Structure 1
């Protein structure tokens, strides 16, 4: 056991002391914060390009579109479409808006342009025409009904419904929950595991290939058993990845918090709400962000410490368990080949279960109690991802314990298999290995 700890220490220190590790550790949070700031900037950025649109109004509507700060509408009386089209460049028209005489029946207008019209312009024109037509129709209905207050009465019938989900606790107590938050937690956690497995699992494989190609392992293996070497290497790299991940979370949180404290106070709330949608929001949507924020506060406020601890505990376990299992598989591949170009034929059987687990996760979010959800969260090769999607919805304790036990047992078994491949593979140079050859190695006796 002491030898395993020595190997873990060696693998950990040799990697965290590298300049590339330090640079990536501190650069990634800055990149995340930069993306976060860019998204806010893009959301608040206004389209300030001046445009002039020629309007051929064949309908009976009186100026259904009005000029705005950056978009001007030039109404042309008795204009011929072909003449206007031929003069677009000379007149500096961005587009030609044709409002047909049957606009009230067909409810379709046409916007002609040599360039692809932006979604902002299309939305703005469509929104103005729709509002104009709706106003005319409402006025006509009110006049025919001879009820001056009809519009107010119709507006009073609009009833927004807010659905709350309530969970019963084991003791019969009730607490508010959120299906959307549960899905979000599951998908974010599973995607992090997916990326982590590939990022650091490949490092294990490359480390094994490097030691094998440099003949370093021939010296190491004389004093350490293959299983000890495999276990130390896998756990050592896992600790490196976990260290880097924790640093990313802490540094990203600090940078984003500081940036938010500096930027958000200077942002006008009305501007932010308008920037969140390029189309007209339905009536009552102005308070939607505030209501959703209050609901989120209420929901998160109901999360007790036990619930949060169970989510975090399960994440850490399956985060590490999934990595350790697949790192053992990557280590087995690295033990069998001489260089990375030969790893392609062995990578497909490793990547397929991971990709399959992501797709199963989408199905599980729709029906977390299905047979597919159960088996996907029990089978060790898919459970690290699928189980994390299920846990926020609630998983029986016996299923969770069974999944954890199988994951640990499979990891130890795969590590033992990787060690057997490693024991023979380190002495094989210049020979292209096949699955048949690996099967022979596994059948060799000590």
Structure 2
């Protein structure tokens, strides 16, 4: 036990004191926010210049409805200018919109020609504008046939369009019989973020264990250590020490989150002033989530998932002589792990579906998929069953990995097959 404690202490302190750990711990939350926010901000930035679009309307019904904006200038051109304008595409003009016939009879009669791909906002504006013209023409035609004032039909249409926006308020029954307002989008967002963190941490620290084992074996350091330390203690010391590094990092982040949640009364004390409460309703609902349950569940699932994958990675690292040879063993496990991540993302839309349920019970996928489902307040028995299965699997996985580790850590010069790994497991 003393040897195990010394190895854990060595692995933990050697990593916790690194400058990279401090920098990563402090900058990672900022980087994660930047990864989400920066693309959204950049997507709103438009080109500084105005794109000129020439419109050739053979019908004469549509061109006048396309209005210029601060980013796009629509210019009506004649049919005879077609050949000349084509030579200017990509130079003086961005593109040509040509309408060759009645769009109500032939919806494909509109064509946009440009040198570059048409921006989505421009394409959407043209499609919506032309569609509105067609709708207005059909309304006028119906009004004439039914001998009804066109204005009446237009008014009816406006009433229908403006009165059809219904937003259903969702609530859940609490254990005490009270109602609590919920939001599926907020639950999905929280589940998605924690799932990504779970995926990143298990993969990052599990791979760190494998790299450490391979490095010690290739440098022959393990031969000295194994003379005074049991192989099991050596493997578990490295796994636990590196795992504690990850938990330390998580606890720092959760501590920052706790400070923010604890300050919510101060931050939103004046929320009702100036109609601000309606704008902060989503943020208040975010604070109403049971964060204690989510964080505790996250730590339990992370520890269980990390122990399984880190044990497998340590086993693979001990079986080979260099990092390149680990690929044949690591790839299947990594594919399963990536599969669990995609199942988790898919489960955001259907957290109670059969795929989400069963993958939240399978040990290799449950840490990822169950973390998606927990913010949706699934039944307690499902959480308990998932964790029980996970930690039962941890026991058998660690036992299996340790038996192969004790043999492989002293094997050199040969890359074993799966069959040989199983044979190593049977050694007494």
The answer to whether the superposition gives a TM-score over 0.5 is yes
- Could you tell me how far apart the structure 1 residues matched to 2:299 and 2:84 are? 69
Judging changes above 3 Å, is the alpha-carbon distance between structure 1 residues 133 and 209 closer, same or farther for their aligned structure 2 residues? same
Report the CA distance between 1:425 and its aligned residue.
1.8
- For 1:273, the equivalent position in structure 2 comes to none
Aligned CA RMSD, in angstroms, stands at 3.3
- For 2:309, the equivalent position in structure 1 comes to 326
SS of alignment partner, residue 55 of structure 1: strand
Judging changes above 3 Å, is the alpha-carbon distance between structure 1 residues 129 and 356 closer, same or farther for their aligned structure 2 residues? closer
Judging changes above 3 Å, is the alpha-carbon distance between structure 1 residues 230 and 43 closer, same or farther for their aligned structure 2 residues? same
- Could you tell me how far apart the structure 2 residues matched to 1:301 and 1:169 are? 16
Report the CA distance between 1:203 and its aligned residue.
0.6
1:411 aligns with 2:394: yes
- Could you tell me how far apart the structure 2 residues matched to 1:116 and 1:90 are? 11
Contact kept in structure 2, 1:230 and 1:418, CA below 8 Å: no
- For 1:229, the equivalent position in structure 2 comes to 234
- Give the counterpart of 1:184 among 179, 186, 189: 189
1:336 aligns with 2:319: yes
Report the CA distance between 1:347 and its aligned residue.
0.9
- For 2:328, the equivalent position in structure 1 comes to 345
- For 2:171, the equivalent position in structure 1 comes to 166
Question: Please, which moves more after superposition, 6-15 or 173-182?
Answer: 173-182
SS of alignment partner, residue 112 of structure 2: strand
- Give the counterpart of 1:146 among 146, 149, 170: 149
- Give the counterpart of 1:388 among 371, 395, 399: 371
Contact kept in structure 1, 2:321 and 2:413, CA below 8 Å: yes
- Give the counterpart of 1:300 among 282, 286, 309: 286
- For 1:424, the equivalent position in structure 2 comes to 407
- For 1:79, the equivalent position in structure 2 comes to 80
1:106 aligns with 2:106: yes
SS of alignment partner, residue 105 of structure 1: coil
- For 1:357, the equivalent position in structure 2 comes to 340
1:18-37 equivalent positions in 2, closer than 5 A: 18-29=18-29, 31-32=31-32, 34-36=34-36
Output the TM-score relative to the length of structure 1.
Answer: 0.79
Higher relative contact order (CA 8 A, sep 6+): 1
Contact kept in structure 2, 1:58 and 1:101, CA below 8 Å: yes
SS of alignment partner, residue 335 of structure 1: helix
Report the CA distance between 1:335 and its aligned residue.
1.4
- For 1:122, the equivalent position in structure 2 comes to 123
- For 1:239, the equivalent position in structure 2 comes to 244
Question: Please, which moves more after superposition, 132-141 or 379-388?
Answer: 132-141
- For 2:12, the equivalent position in structure 1 comes to 12
SS of alignment partner, residue 413 of structure 2: coil
- Could you tell me how far apart the structure 2 residues matched to 1:433 and 1:292 are? 63
Judging changes above 3 Å, is the alpha-carbon distance between structure 1 residues 397 and 65 closer, same or farther for their aligned structure 2 residues? closer
Report the CA distance between 1:74 and its aligned residue.
2.7
- Structure 1 residues not aligned, in runs of 5+: 255-289
SS of alignment partner, residue 116 of structure 2: coil
Contact kept in structure 1, 2:139 and 2:153, CA below 8 Å: no
SS of alignment partner, residue 354 of structure 1: helix
- Could you tell me how far apart the structure 2 residues matched to 1:436 and 1:40 are? 50
Question: Please, which moves more after superposition, 311-320 or 242-251?
Answer: 242-251
- Could you tell me how far apart the structure 2 residues matched to 1:442 and 1:361 are? 33
Report the CA distance between 1:236 and its aligned residue.
0.8
- For 1:379, the equivalent position in structure 2 comes to 362
Report the CA distance between 1:57 and its aligned residue.
2.1
- Structure 2 residues not aligned, in runs of 5+: 260-275
Output the TM-score relative to the length of structure 2.
Answer: 0.82
- Could you tell me how far apart the structure 2 residues matched to 1:439 and 1:336 are? 12
Judging changes above 3 Å, is the alpha-carbon distance between structure 1 residues 419 and 76 closer, same or farther for their aligned structure 2 residues? closer
- Could you tell me how far apart the structure 2 residues matched to 1:199 and 1:380 are? 18
Contact kept in structure 2, 1:29 and 1:251, CA below 8 Å: no
Report the CA distance between 1:112 and its aligned residue.
2.0
